Amino acid sequence: MEDSSTDVWVTGIGLVSSLGEGNATHLEALSEAGRAPILNETTYRPYTVHPLAPVDFNRQIPKKSDQRQMEPWQRIGVYAAGKALEDAGIAKDLALLQKTNLVVAAGSGERDASVDAKVLETIGSRADTDVLAKEILPGALRPTLFLAQLSNLLAGNISIVHNVTASSRTFMGEEMAGISAIENTFRRIRGGQGDVFLVGGALNAEREDLLLGYELGRNLWSRPFRAVWERREPGSEGGLVPGSMGAFLVLEQRRHAEARGRKPYARLTQVVSDRSRRRPGEAAEAMGRLIRRMAPGPGPLAVLSGACGVEPVTSDERTFLEDLPRLGLEPAIRAYGSRLGHGVEAHFPAGIALAALALGERRFYPPCPSSGIEKPFSSSLDRVLVTGLGHWRGEALALLDRPS
C-alpha cells in the first residue's frame, strides 16, 4: 500500500439478524458447521424468509417515542448502527460523533399492508376509484409513518438517536446501494475526505410489500428451502430468500484510529465495482475484469460470497469463482446468504462485517456441507474476498486483510 496512514480500518461492527445480535453470537453461529438456518416457512407461504431474532430495541433506542416513529427496518438499522458505534468506542462521545460521517444503504420504507388491502378491496367494489382512494387514504395513512417510508429516514433516525451528525448520505439501488455505500466511504477515507464513518444498511424481510417488490421480477425462492448454491433446480429460475438483518461498520482512517488507541478487526484494502447489462455471461466477465484489476497475490483465498440464489446471476458467480484457480488463487468459498438470507441493500455491508470478524479471529467459517462448491479451509486466515453481485444489477468485490 502506498500510504498506510490513510489505510481503511474496520474498527467497529454492529450485526443483528436471524442468528441473533452481536459479534460473538454471529461468530459462534456461523462457526458451527451444519447448524440449520433460522427460517419462517409458513407466514408468507410459498415464500420463506429468515426472521429477525428477538431483539430488545430499548437497548439502543431508549426512547419509546423514537421507536414509535420508526418502522421495523429502521429500528433494525438504528439498533445495528448503535452496536457498531459502541463496538468502536464512539457511542456517546459527542465530540467524536460530530465528526462521524454517516453513509446508509437503504430501500423503501414499509407500507401498512392492512391499509393497502382495505383500499384495494374497496376499490374493487366501487366504480369511482380515485375518489375512493382519496376518501380512504387520508384517514388510513398515519402522518408520521410517511417519514418511516422515506429511504433517507433510516439515516435521519440514526442521527437523531445516536447523534451522528458530520454528514449523512443515503445510497439506493438494491444491492448496489450497499456496494456504493462501502465503495464511496472507502474512497473518501483513502482520499482524505473524512476520518471516521458509520456505514451500513438494514432489511426487514418480514414484509409482504417487500416480497411483492422482488416477486414482480420473479426473484423469490418459492420451493422448500435450499442453500443458495442448490437452488439451480430444473424448471426453476432460482430465487432469493430475504433475511432480516442490520449490518453496520465503523470504517476509519488508520491514523485517526491509532490516535485514539483503537485496534482494527481488519483492513479494507480494495473495493471495486462495475455494472454490466447482464446479457448472458456478462456478469461473470465483469467479475473477471474486477478481480484482475484487484490482482490479489496467488495462494489460498477465503471468499465470502454474497450470492443470492437468483438465476442466472448465481451461476454467473459460480463460473467466476470456478475460474479463480486460473489466476493462481485457491478459493475457499462461503455463501453467507445461505445462513443469513439475502439482505439486499444490507448484504454487501454484512459480508464486509463477517469478513472483518473472521479476520479478527484469524479463523474462517466452515463450509456448507451440501453445497458442492464450498471446500474446507485449513490455511492461516490473512485475507478475505467479499463478492457482491446484485440480483438484477451491479458487480463488486472487496478485499480485506489483517493490518501489519
Partner 1 sequence: MANDLTDTKGRPVVAVTGLGVVTSLGRGKEENWARLTAGHSGIKTIARFPTEGLRTTMAGTCDCITCEPYSAPALTMAMAGVAAEEAIAESRIDVAAGFPGPLYVATPPAELEWPQRRALYERGADAGATGYRRLLSAARTGAFRDMARLFQFASVADHLADRFATAGLPISVSTACASGATAIQLGVEAIRRGETAVALSIGTDSSVQLEALIRFSLLSALSTRNEVPQKASRPFSKDRDGFVMAEGAGALVLESLEHARARGAAILGVVRGCGEMADDFHRTRSKPDGTAIIGAIRNALLDADARPEEVDYVNAHGTSTPENDKMEYISLRAVLGDHLAVTPVSSNKSMIGHTLSAAGAIEAVFSLMTIGRSTIPPTINYDTPDQEIPLDVVPGQARAKRVRTVLSNSFGFGGQNVCLLLGAP
143 binds partner 1 (CB under 8 A): yes
Shortest CA distance to 322 belongs to which of 267, 257, 387, 271? 387
Minimum distance of partner 1 from residue 342's CB (angstroms): 15
Binders in 202-261 for partner 1, by CB under 8 A: 208-209, 211-213, 215-219, 222
The nearer residue to partner 1, 27 or 164, going by C-beta atoms, is 164
The nearer residue to partner 1, 53 or 140, going by C-beta atoms, is 140
Rounded CA Rg of the chain: 21
Q: Interface mask (CB under 8 A) for partner 1, residues 164-203, using x and -?
A: xxxxxxxxxxx-xx-xx--xx--xx-xx-x----------
Q: Residue 15 half-sphere exposure, CB side, CA atoms within 13 Å? A: 28
User: According to CB under 8 A, which one of 86, 116, 258, 382 is a site residue for partner 1?
Assistant: 116
Site size with partner 1, rule: CB under 8 A: 82
Q: Which segments of 70-135 are extended strands (E)?
A: 100-105
35 binds partner 1 (CB under 8 A): no
Minimum distance of partner 1 from residue 123's CB (angstroms): 6
The nearer residue to partner 1, 35 or 292, going by C-beta atoms, is 292
Distance CA(74)–CA(77), nearest Å, equals: 5
Q: Residue 320 half-sphere exposure, CB side, CA atoms within 13 Å? A: 30
Minimum distance of partner 1 from residue 222's CB (angstroms): 7
Ramachandran quadrant class, 273 (left: phi over 0; alpha: psi -120 to 50; beta: rest) = beta
Binders in 50-69 for partner 1, by CB under 8 A: 69
Binders in 309-348 for partner 1, by CB under 8 A: none
Minimum distance of partner 1 from residue 72's CB (angstroms): 16
- For residue 312, say if its preceding peptide bond is cis, omega within 30 degrees of 0: yes
Within 10 angstroms of residue 41's Cβ, the number of other Cβ atoms is 13
Evaluate the CA torsion angle 153, 154, 160, 166 in order and state its sign: negative
305 binds partner 1 (CB under 8 A): no
Binders in 90-109 for partner 1, by CB under 8 A: 102, 106-109
User: According to CB under 8 A, which one of 11, 159, 185, 270 is a site residue for partner 1?
Assistant: 159
Distance CA(119)–CA(137), nearest Å, equals: 8
